[in-house]
Amino acid sequence: MTCLIETLLRLAAWLVVAPLLPGIINKVKAWVAGRKGPPVLQLYYDLARLWRKGVVQSTLASPGFIAGPVVGWIALLAAALLLPLGRHAVAPSFQGDVILLVYLLAVARFATAWAALETGSAFEGMGAAREVSFAVLAEAAVITAVLALAVQSDSLSLPAMLAPAGGTGALLLAAGLFIVLLAENCRVPFDDPNTHLELTMIHEVMVLDHSGPPLALILHGAAIKLLLFSVLLVEAVLPVGDLPALAGTGALVAGVLVVMVGVGLTESLLARAAFRQVPLMLTTAFLLCLFALLVAWRGAASPLPERPPPTVRLPGETTS
Amino acid sequence: MSENLNIFVGLAMGLNLVALGSSRLTSVIRAAAVQGVLLGVLPLLMEEFHWMILVVAVLTMLVKGGLIPSLLNRAVKSANIDRDLIPLVGYVPSLLLGATGTLAAVAVAQRLPLLPAHAHTLLVPGALASVFTGLVLLIGRVKAITQVCGYLILENGIYLFGLLLLHSTPLIVEGGILLDLTVAVFIIGIIVDRIRTEFDTLDTHKLNMLRE
């Protein structure tokens, strides 16, 4: 019974906290640019407004047009529930739940692309094609990062994988996961969430024809995805699971805030990259995660390399 | 001590990939320069302090981090080279090639019969990876200046190998190598200027035809 209540509480936390993150990013961006910026709670207002509105649907579209956002939102929420939040809030975990997490993210992406294609507009098909082709590279990086964590902790369940600190490869893993976070959530070097220029959009193109509650679900799902990736990043680097409950939660919140400020600063300081540079950046992320995997693998093969004794005599010394 | 050493060599291996992935001439030059400075610190970490080692380390850092990059940058500026690179092998393939080379270097180095003192350092993998990166840059880039950078990174790899023999090579050899390197870069700077006045481009592919 307590397990059920705890799970419900965590569900509520994900639902309520997630829309805060884009607000924080926008506040940071406004602060860097010297503007006042929209209120931090802006996304909550938007969601409430969208929820009250009606749905405009193309006569061409099948029920998949509505089902897509719903399936995507549920998949993202289920994926978020698998992530542990600190020490005591351990999810319904089992061996291999990390694979389920990766696949739930893929299902959410498929559902969004599916709903985009339902409209029959070539424009949205273009967005779906971009999203899916960049996802191939981003997923490779995520899977490599997960593999590095699995090798390092010798486990395939998320709470065990994320409990210890990232070890020596933590910096590499953090850099790789941060790039993936930017790509997966359509942040600036990859996609501009503010732009409405058809040539530059990826994610925004796919959801152009959605309106009302389905659009609210898409926006909320995007916020959950952002929170999910930042929690994953923080827990892969900081030993949140090993700290006492209160300190762990505090570290998690502080870490997510730092990641959000980092995203805001990146958006303020960097220009959006050209499309042909995106594969290069995602390959970089993949390689960073690959080298984190290498470090984890070497660390696992020889736990603390037996260092040579300092007084070893080399052949050169005896002859010279 | 070997932890610090590994961090420096690891950073140098990362810079190899930066050089392979960057699309700007100046950033390739900078990557090669920073790598040279990082490797210049290594002798200080490996040995007990000795004034001769300090002199060579400082000289290495000055030449590789200051003199050579400034010569190259001057050549870039005076020859009015377009700063974008035109790769023969694209950035993503060359990055993947470089990463594969680095992984292979780590794997191969574990099988080599090394001295116990060097078995757990990244010296040998770093040397192999740098040599490989230098080769990829030499083969995969069109412009003469990038090829010089490839040559510099290759030399950094050989220098890393040389650190294994720090006990038995007199440091004067290192000094001589540094001098050679500087002279080579000098000459290449002159050649670059000549190529430009003769052919109006630095694309080395235009140099494979004989003319009267």
Taking 50 as the pLDDT cut, the residues of chain B under it are none
Residue A279 and residue B168: Cβ atoms within 8 Å?
A: no
A302 DSSP 8-state letter:
S
In a mutagenesis test of the A interface, which of B2, B100, B167 is the best target, namely the one with the most A β-carbons within 10 Å?
Answer: B167
**Element spanning A283, H or E:** helix A278-301
Q: What whole-number distance in Å separates Cα of residue A32 and Cα of residue A36?
A: 10
Can you tell me whether residue A81 is helix, strand or coil? helix
Residue A307 and residue B120: Cβ atoms within 8 Å?
A: yes
Give the domain range for residue B81. Answer: 2-208
User: Quick one: closest CA in B to A310, which residue?
Assistant: B117
Identify all chain A residues contacting B168, using CB atoms and an 8 Å cutoff.
Answer: 314-316, 319-320
**pLDDT at residue B79, as a whole number:** 72
* CA distance to partner chain B, nearest, from residue A238 (Å): 20
Token pair for A58: 């193309």
In a mutagenesis test of the A interface, which of B168, B171, B173 is the best target, namely the one with the most A β-carbons within 10 Å?
Answer: B168
Q: What whole-number distance in Å separates Cα of residue B92 and Cα of residue B94?
A: 5
**pLDDT at residue A91, as a whole number:** 62
Residue B95 and residue A308: Cβ atoms within 8 Å?
A: no
pTM of the model: 0.83
Identify all chain B residues contacting A306, using CB atoms and an 8 Å cutoff.
Answer: 120
A310 DSSP 8-state letter:
T
CB-defined contacts A:B, below 8 A: 52
Q: Based on the structure, what is the number of domains in chain B?
A: 1
Question: Which of 265-304 (A) contact B at CB < 8 A?
Answer: 277, 279-280, 283-284, 287, 290-291, 294, 298, 302
Identify all chain B residues contacting A310, using CB atoms and an 8 Å cutoff.
Answer: 1
Residue A320 and residue B92: Cβ atoms within 8 Å?
A: no
Token pair for B53: 């080692």
Q: Structural domain boundaries of chain A?
A: 9-55+62-299
Paired with B203 in beta bridges are B143
**pLDDT at residue A160, as a whole number:** 83
Identify all chain A residues contacting B92, using CB atoms and an 8 Å cutoff.
Answer: 279-280, 283
User: Quick one: closest CA in A to B169, which residue?
Assistant: A316
**pLDDT at residue A88, as a whole number:** 60
In a mutagenesis test of the B interface, which of A179, A276, A287 is the best target, namely the one with the most B β-carbons within 10 Å?
Answer: A287
Q: What whole-number distance in Å separates Cα of residue B109 and Cα of residue B163?
A: 15
Paired with A89 in beta bridges are A85
Q: What is the pLDDT along chain A (320 residues), one digit of tens a residue?
A: 778 888 888 899 999 999 999 999 999 999 999 998 899 999 999 999 999 999 988 888 888 899 999 999 999 999 999 888 876 656 677 888 899 999 999 999 999 999 999 888 888 888 899 889 989 999 999 999 999 988 888 888 888 888 776 666 788 899 999 999 999 888 888 887 776 666 667 777 888 888 899 999 999 999 999 999 999 999 888 887 777 878 888 889 999 999 999 999 998 998 888 877 888 889 999 999 998 888 888 776 544 443 343 444 444 444 33
Query: What's the half-sphere exposure (Cβ side, CA atoms, 13 Å) at B92?
Result: 11
pLDDT digits (tens, 9 = 90+) for B147-186: 888 888 998 888 888 888 777 766 677 777 777 888 888 7
